[in-house]
């Protein structure tokens, strides 16, 4: 099945980099910061397995490899070409597979994960039922001690809105407000849900001294992105 991301898989990173110029960072930077944030929050826990839902071309998985060297990595996506690119990265201890749609998650029967990571996928799925199905399956395949991370663009941030509006593979998407996503996560039984805001300042060198304040601003709902962290129990 051909997917919209198949059309962009080859040049995904260069398109993204061009689009992100006004932010001062590139797509690698924005992938790595997420994994560093997760490492800061949960790096001290025993994380043996990580599942990246909507893994795209596998860049976040490469950073998981770097910062969680002992974990077995799993990634899935509906874009065949993106999966091909992710597999070609030959990330050690990784299992990367194609799904037709979220219903294929039901085929994961004998495996549970310490961590599930979903980055900038949900705003491409503007369908409440599908989002609920995904979250319901994520809940099922997460270990009791497991943690869920969902990163999304913050529609309240004007720079984020501009970047998304100008991005060719974000055409027509509707960004998800943090309150709606929190409700969806809560409706699917997750507990200890927190919403955290990130990327308050542009990533140009000049702004470096301000980055330390972002940890203090984490509850201020105007950062460029936000993430939900939730536990199974
Ligand atoms: C903006 S990209 C993000 C890729 C990766 N998560 C990252 O952060 O670099 C969105 C990805 O979500 C995938 N996607 C969209 N709908 C999906 C679905 N229903 N199930 C799995 N993946 C999906 C797309 O194919 C694409 O690879």
CATH number, residue 58: 3.40.50.150
Sites in the chain below the pLDDT cut of 70 = 1-2
- Could you say which DSSP state residue 87 is in? H
Domain count of the chain?
A: 1
d(CA 4, ligand 1 centre) in Å: 10
Distance 76 CA to ligand 1 centre (A): 9
- What is the predicted pLDDT for the residue at 16? 86
Q: How far is residue 18 from each of residues 150, 151, 225, measured CA to CA in Å?
A: 24, 21, 19
Determine the structural domain holding residue 28 and report its residue range: 4-231
Verdict on whether the full-model pTM lies above 0.85: yes
Residue 169's pLDDT is what? Answer: 86
pLDDT in tens, 142-151: 999 999 999 9
Q: What pLDDT score was predicted for residue 40?
A: 97
Nearest CA residue ID for atom 14, ligand 1 = 54
CA distance 153 to 198: 10
- Measured over the CA atoms of residue 131, residue 134, residue 140 and residue 144, the dihedral's sign is negative
List, for residues 111-121, the tens digit of each pLDDT value: 999 999 999 99
| Ligand 1, residues at Cβ distance < 6 Å | 3, 5, 31, 54-56, 59-60, 77-79, 82, 101-102, 119-121, 124-125
In this structure, the residue with its CA closest to atom 27 of ligand 1 is: 56
């Amino acid at each position: 099945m051909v997917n919209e991301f198949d059309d962009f898989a080859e040049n995904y990173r260069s398109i993204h980099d061009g689009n992100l110029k006004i932010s001062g960072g590139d797509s690698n930077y924005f992938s790595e910061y997420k994994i560093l944030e997760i490492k800061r929050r949960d790096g001290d826990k025993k994380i043996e397995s990580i599942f990246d839902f909507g893994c795209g071309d596998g860049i976040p998985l490469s950073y998981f490899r770097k910062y969680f060297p002992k974990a077995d990595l799993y990634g899935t996506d509906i874009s065949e070409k993106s999966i091909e690119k992710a597999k070609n990265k030959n990330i050690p201890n990784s299992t990367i597979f194609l799904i037709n749609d979220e219903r294929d998650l039901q085929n994961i029967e004998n495996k549970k994960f310490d961590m599930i990571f979903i980055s900038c996928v949900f705003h491409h799925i503007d369908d409440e039922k599908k989002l609920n199905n995904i979250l319901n399956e994520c809940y099922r395949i997460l270990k009791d001690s497991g943690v869920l991370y969902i990163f999304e663009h913050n529609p309240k941030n004007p720079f984020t809105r501009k970047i998304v509006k100008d991005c060719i593979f974000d055409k027509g998407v509707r960004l998800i407000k943090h309150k709606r996503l929190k409700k969806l996560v809560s409706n699917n039984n997750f507990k200890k849900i927190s919403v955290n805001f990130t990327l308050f300042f542009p990533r140009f060198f000049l702004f470096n001294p301000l980055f330390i304040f972002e940890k203090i601003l984490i509850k201020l709902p105007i950062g460029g992105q936000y993430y939900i962290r939730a536990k199974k129990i």
